[in-house]
Structure 1
Amino acid sequence: MMEEAAGWLAALDAGSVTPQAFEQWRAADPRHAVAFAQVAHAFEQVERLRTFGDRHADLAPAPAINRRRMLQAGVLAGGASVAGALLAVRATAREHAETTVGERRGLVLDDGIRIELNTGTRISWRTDKERSRIWLERGEIGLTVPAAPRGKLELEAGGARFRLGFGSFNARQQPESFDLLVLDGAAESVRGGRLGAGAMARVIGQDVAVRPADTVTLDRARSWKDGQLVFEGESLDFVVAEFNRYLDPRIVIADPALSRIRLGGRFTTTDPNDLLAALHASFGIRSQRSANGAITLTAG
């Protein structure tokens, strides 16, 4: 039971199982919840010892997190077999970052890779001497890979996996697909197919389609980092869907006939007022805000 609980802890931290699957396992037997709590407590004690050593390295030798100490932590949890699983947790641990709706965030990994997170995005990553791995769990990111990264870089989203060389890239996870755009540099799908600068790969299920990206797509991938949305003749329902990624409450099209109107322009992501003014001036579309802040579009 303890080994099984430790395995779930390792899998959760590595991101290889879903929280829903874990909750099903824990609810199946009261002993599962008890065992997991004990294992988690043991890992917390080990982590606390490691953190103490990091913070006070200049004052005294850091406590040795060796096999004996790990075994002691395992005994606290109810069995020495937990120690090996705790070591596995440390080896497979990921770090995480995310943004809320309307938020953007930038970070730099230990190997110099720069990541920009767009609205409503969550990523996890793991780096070591041999390679770095980034998982895009939802949303959109921009990646800048230095000319001499410390190791190989792999990007995963859903079932898609790419190896990235130096350059800059844009990756977006959508409900039905995953898009990887090479702004400059090169990338390669593990399923086959190379991408040079200006190419885009769209992954739907097991299929990977590579094609040249159009000018608007390239401009759009660069512009969101400056807080802008770019459109060139897209339908209003598409424009509203893109805006709604950044807004809470959202914009609602009350009249379905308005969805077919086509619109172009450059707008600020977090402020729809310019969009609303353009719709009213060009098409007579009226906008009304409800008490909760939602915006409804109706024909004039």
Structure 2
Amino acid sequence: MEEAAAWLAALDAGSATREEFEAWRAVDSRRAVAFAQVADAFEQIERLRTVHDPLPEPRRLGPVRLNRRNLLRGGVVAGGIAIAGGFAMQAAAREHAETGVGERRTVVLEDGTRVSLNTDTRISWRIKGETRSLWLDQGEIALNVRALAGPPLRLSANGMRFDLEPGAFNARREPETVALLVLKGTASAENRAVRVGALAQAIGRDISVHPAEAVAIDRARSWQNGQLVFEGESLDFVVAEFNRYLDDKLVVADPRLSRIRLGGRFTNTDPTELLKALDASFGIRAKRGESGAIMLSAS
């Protein structure tokens, strides 16, 4: 358990590589179990820490409760609790910021880096000496990284690490993937260069780097102005993107409508113009259900 805790601390601090960690974990299956237990305890305490985040925020996500059952889940007993307590002190050294659904917020880190948070996003960071670390725990961010002497800013998300040189970037984390778009400057991911205009996409341990489509660059810039941009995407995709910003979700009631493709530029927190366009162009009617969801069906 202590050895697993040491690896978590090293990965968190950036002093160990994923290759080194995977080599250690592959030796014995019990190591993977121990690491998962320690990481789980750390995550529970980290979430408790964000509930008491002193940074002012217009809205907050629902509280996360920590109880003895959750802390002991997976066999993290007395020794594991002591280790997790040590990580709680380390987590307290991080700063945190988050947004609710439909909100945007910009924070300036101690090194001058500006981070804009999109809807339903959570980040944490630690700036200490020459070490600059940022964690994308959920959602999407735009970064303007300041030029400073010393190492690049390290961005971590979904177990993937990106080193960001001075420039402008957009990063989005999904449950199983993370994508980094370089708008200005350069970055590296797993020792692969990611240059301006390129998109790095990671699924698990696999990463691909390729030129970004023009619409992807447009989207990365447009959300900061409160807009969504589409160029011939399916209605399913459009609805999924809009729902990131809405408390009352859009629902495609008729599966046959999912194949419809459309384009346009819309205000991301208000689907009114989208609904008008769907009605005018495709005869799709919108009706609000009892739960508040907006049901889309053919007229």
- The reply to whether TM is greater than 0.5 is yes
Aligned partners of 1:205 and 1:91: how far apart in 2? 24
Conservation of the 8 A alpha-carbon contact between 1:149 and 1:166: no
| Matched residue type, 1:128 | K
Conservation of the 8 A alpha-carbon contact between 1:25 and 1:32: no
Q: Which residue of 2 aligns with 1:76?
A: none
Conservation of the 8 A alpha-carbon contact between 2:106 and 2:114: yes
Alpha-carbon offset, residue 130 of structure 1: 1.2
Distance 1:159 1:252, change over 3 A: same
Q: Which residue of 2 aligns with 1:114?
A: 114
Q: Which residue of 1 aligns with 2:137?
A: 137
Q: Deviations over 1:122-159 (max 9, x none)?
A: 11111111121111111000000123366531001012
Q: Which residue of 2 aligns with 1:272?
A: 271
Aligned partners of 1:106 and 1:90: how far apart in 2? 24
Structure 1 length normalisation: TM-score? 0.73
CA-based RMSD = 3.1
- Listed as ranges, the matches of 1:121-270 within 5 Å are 121-148=121-148, 151-189=151-189, 191-270=190-269
Structure 2 length normalisation: TM-score? 0.73
Q: Deviations over 1:66-109 (max 9, x none)?
A: xxxxxxxxxxxxxxxxxxx59x9259721111111111111000
Aligned partners of 1:124 and 1:286: how far apart in 2? 42
- Listed as ranges, the matches of 1:2-21 within 5 Å are 17-19=39-41
| Structure 2 residues not aligned, in runs of 5+ | 14-37, 46-68
Aligned partners of 1:226 and 1:25: how far apart in 2? 41
Conservation of the 8 A alpha-carbon contact between 1:124 and 1:137: yes
SS of residue matched to 1:147: coil
SS of residue matched to 1:18: helix
Aligned partners of 2:162 and 2:98: how far apart in 1? 21
Alpha-carbon offset, residue 112 of structure 1: 0.2
Distance 1:229 1:137, change over 3 A: same
- Matched residue pairs, number? 244
Aligned partners of 2:90 and 2:222: how far apart in 1? 38
Q: Which residue of 2 aligns with 1:44?
A: none
SS of residue matched to 1:17: helix
Conservation of the 8 A alpha-carbon contact between 2:103 and 2:118: yes
- Listed as ranges, the matches of 1:51-130 within 5 Å are 89=89, 93-130=93-130
| Matched residue type, 2:113 | I
Q: Percent identity?
A: 55
Conservation of the 8 A alpha-carbon contact between 1:94 and 1:126: yes
SS of residue matched to 2:279: helix
Distance 1:283 1:126, change over 3 A: same
| Structure 1 residues not aligned, in runs of 5+ | 41-84
Conservation of the 8 A alpha-carbon contact between 2:158 and 2:176: no
Conservation of the 8 A alpha-carbon contact between 1:94 and 1:124: yes
SS of residue matched to 2:277: helix
Distance 1:224 1:28, change over 3 A: closer
| Matched residue type, 2:146 | P
SS of residue matched to 1:241: helix
